[in-house]
Amino acid sequence: MADHAAIAGVSQTLRTLLRDRMRSPVPVTFVPPDVTPATFNGERVNLYLFDVSENGSLKNQEIPGHGHPAHYGHPPLSLDLSYLLTTHVASETADDADLTCQSLLADAMQTLHDFPILSDRLEITRPAAGTLGDPIVHTSVRGEFERIKIVLQPAALEETTKLWSALPSANFRRGVLYRVSTVQIESRVPRRIAQPVQTRHFFVTTVRRPEITEVYRTPITPADVVGDVRVRIGEEITIAGRNFLGERTRVKLGELEPIRVLPDTGGRIRVALPNANYPIDPDHPATRPSPAPLQIQPGPLRVQVITEHEAESVHGGLDRGQSSLEIRTYRSNVGLVLVVPQVTGIAPPQGDTSALLTVNGARLFRPDITTYVLVGDAAIEVRPPGAGDPWATPTDTSVQVPLTALAEQLPPPPVAGKSLAVSVQVNGAQNREDTFSFLWLP
């Protein structure tokens, strides 16, 4: 595998090829086109590496046949090299200077055209290029899976002009662009090998994972809508689906611990949204407190069904193994309900913009969740009072907001006042009650 010397090795390979196979064996230099080398001041071919880019098609590919098949880590760095090939003579002011350079250019291009893919078997035939019989390909890139490929790059006049503009002290010379690919440099990060499997352990079962098709608030009265996803804390939800029966069935609500439930034969589960305590279930004969950070808050609530089934397993080494029965856990897809706050009353029922409106209920405020009191089309954010603010500190069951925002967000009320519906929106979820209103007086 090639190392950091591979880029220079490609350049040296191109020089050896040109010196060995050109009809005119002239020196090959590696200097910027605007620099005259100290040693060679006559006819010469110059190769200037002006761009190095990563080969996107080989970016994440290991070299076939190299290393252990279980190796993983860093694949090699695959690069494409772009060269500017120019020809030069001793005196650029001579009458036939350009003709000589054109002849050298065609000679070099013919050589690179005849050898577009450089094989390790290509040998040196001229003593001026090196030891006779030695490979032309440099040792740093010899024996690679990816052969060195030379392609003439067509370039528009505008592109060529931009390249020469980057060399302000050089004249626009006879030159062509070549792309050489692909050079692969091995990563120095140690590779890791995945250990072979020492112990087998697999399961055989015909059980299917539970699947939720619908989640909604359980209707209580004939007037309740079936399929309403808006639910308050303490209310019961219905989970409809299939494959809910198992050795044990649990329901996970948000971040709470899964709650053990007993599905009915019709493929439905009913469970109430707990407040500050987990409910009594077959695994827990008494209630127990739930951590405050995990308690259900207004907003979207993830609902998932978890079942447990006995599954036959086989475990062991390379022998026939031993069979046994083990409990396996299966998780359903995720359903969603919208937990909404509850409003139980407002005070005062009427007033002008100097009034403070108090809203009572449940799940109305939490410091890390945004709450708005909606009065008609005006949205008033609930905030803890600062120095000099007249409203009370918001709590989970009561919030108070100033009504000065009504004059800023709504047109003035008529002389008799205007009745505005009052609701609360917490974390994007709005309460279901629509019976509370405030009479805004001028």
Residue 437 DSSP SS3 = strand
pTM: 0.58
Residue 214 tokens read as 């619908």
Residue 72's pLDDT is: 56
Residue 228's pLDDT is: 93
Per-domain boundaries in the chain: 6-185, 211-339, 342-440
Stretches in the chain below the pLDDT threshold 70? 1, 64-73, 156-157, 168-172, 191, 193-194, 197
Residue 313's pLDDT is: 80
Residue 73's pLDDT is: 58
Residue 171's pLDDT is: 63
Residue 327's pLDDT is: 86
Q: Which pLDDT tens digit goes with each residue over 102-113?
A: 999 999 999 999
Distance, C-alpha 406 to centroid of its chain: 44
Element (H, E) at 260: strand 259-261
The pairing of strands 371-375 and 398-402 is: unpaired
Q: Which pLDDT tens digit goes with each residue over 317-344?
A: 777 778 788 888 999 999 999 999 999 9
The pairing of strands 437-440 and 350-351 is: parallel
Nearest CA to 73 out of 62, 63, 57 is that of 62
Q: Which residue has the tokens 């370039």?
A: 155
Angle at alpha carbon of residue 58, lines to 52 and 60, rounded to 5°: 115
Residue 1's pLDDT is: 64
366's CB contacts (< 8 A; 6+ apart) are 297, 396, 426
Nearest CA to 261 out of 273, 253, 249, 275 is that of 249
Residue 170's pLDDT is: 67
Fold held by 342-440: Immunoglobulin-like (2.60.40)
Q: Where are the alpha helices (DSSP H) in 249-320?
A: none
Phi, psi of 83 (to 5 degrees): -115, 145
Q: Which residue has the tokens 């190769």?
A: 47
Domain 6-185, CATH: 3.30.2000
- Residue 338, Cβ density class (10 Å: 0-12 exposed, 13-18 middle, ≥19 buried): middle
